[in-house]
Structure 1
Amino acid sequence: MTTSPNRPAVLVVDDLKDTADSLATVLDMMGYDTRVAYSPRQVGELVRSGFRPDAAVLDIDLGEQSGFDVARDLCAALGRRPMLVALTGYSSMEPRARREGFDHYFLKPAEPRDVAGVLPAAS
């Protein structure tokens, strides 16, 4: 699986499937090359299969591993840092998200167009 050269690649990671799927569907319709992972393990599988996201929208509370850990692992696996966007239900986590290198922070439920507004421009 390779990313499309004309569409910014976005990885959406959330253990709540409806949340992840609905955001990914809207981003796809807006012109993004979007993939979804419901667990940290699936993030690794996507990267190993060749998906190279330009941006990652990560839930902070993923159960088995935090979104902070996933962000660190993703950056290490890619050998670079994609844009990192937190999408979470925890308002108290914004200071930590900023310290951990997240570029943007949204509270659930966030409007998909607001999330798309901070992502690399889709053609």
Structure 2
Amino acid sequence: MEEPRILIVDDEKDLCQLMKTTLEKEGFSLIETAGTVQEGWEKFVRFSPNIAILDIMLPDGEGYDLCKKIRETSRIPILFLSAKSDEVDKILGLAIGGDDYITKPFSPKEMAYRVKAQLRRAGVYTMDPSAQTAEKTVGIFTMNAEETEICKNGQRLELTAKEVGLMACFLRHPNQILSKETLFQTVWGEDFFGADNTLMVHIRRLREKVEDSPSKPKHIVTIKGLGYRLIPE
């Protein structure tokens, strides 16, 4: 499988460099950046990226405009970046062909994870083969290489497919706050809008199998207003 090509379009040069550096640390090397709609379109045509990350507010137009042009010829994943947090802006971005929406300021690590998730869904990215050869141990939890089986203190947890997906997501990012949007989009592969109750029910059921005292969770903890965090020790 060829290495994915990534296009970043944002007029904030420091932010572009930060995203580029973060993605390079995650193993990606074919990355192009642009600062305007016009430059972004020219690089899209020349570079043929497998995914595009578009800022909405650009000097010569909006990322929405570039998204529409890309959608005339391509179905590659498109992630929007914006300082706008209004739900109407998110809906508009998704309605015109975007696949995900990240509100500034954001965690570069989360951005990289969302890029990987979209590339996996598009069938143009798999895990590093060397990462598939061994179990992953995080504190008292162990996950097999295929991310299909999870143990706590050596004992296999009887989890549903969605619960395994949630735990796998937590174990890939231990001690980090994961937003509800990230968890739902990663595990369900769908937009989060209106899915808060679904996620809460699955987290509650997961705690019943993971925690010693589900009503007083010590491993899967709620970070009010932000999401959830796995404390693996």
Q: TM-score range by the shorter chain?
A: 0.7 to 0.9
| 1:1-25 Cα deviation digits (max 9, x unpaired) | xxxx632111110011111121012
Change (3 A) 1:114 1:56: same
Deviations 1:43-84 (A, max 9, x none): 1332343x11111111011132110001112333xx212101
Do the aligned partners of residues 99 and 48 (structure 1) sit closer, same or farther apart at CA in structure 2, a change above 3 Å counting?
closer
Would you say the 8 A contact 1:40–1:65 is kept in 2? yes
- Residue aligned with 2:58, SS: coil
Unpaired runs of 5+ in structure 2? Answer: 120-124, 129-233
Residue type of the alignment partner of 1:118: R
> Which residue does 1:57 correspond to in 2?
53
4+ aligned runs moved over 3 Å, structure 1: none
State which of 83, 90, 94 in structure 1 corresponds to 2:90: 94
Alignment of 1:80-119 (within 5 A): 80-92=74-86, 93-119=89-115
**What TM-score results when the alignment is normalised by the length of structure 1?**
0.84
Q: 8 Å contact 2:22–2:112 — kept in the other structure?
A: no
Shift of 1:102: 1.0
2:44 corresponds, among 43, 47, 58, to: 47
Count of aligned residue pairs for this structure pair? 116
Q: Percent identity?
A: 27
Q: Aligned with 1:102: secondary structure? A: coil
Q: Name structure 1 gaps, 5 residues minimum.
A: none
> Is 1:22 the counterpart of 2:18 in the alignment?
yes
Q: Which protein, 1 or 2, shows the higher relative CO under an 8 Å CA cutoff with sep ≥ 6?
A: 1
8 Å Cα contact 1:87/1:108 also seen in 2: yes
Distance 1:63 1:87 in 2: 15
Distance 2:79 2:54 in 1: 6
CA RMSD of aligned residues (A): 1.7
**What letter matches 1:56 in structure 2?**
A
Partner of 2:32: 35
Give the distance between the partners of 1:60 and 1:45, measured in 2 at CA: 17
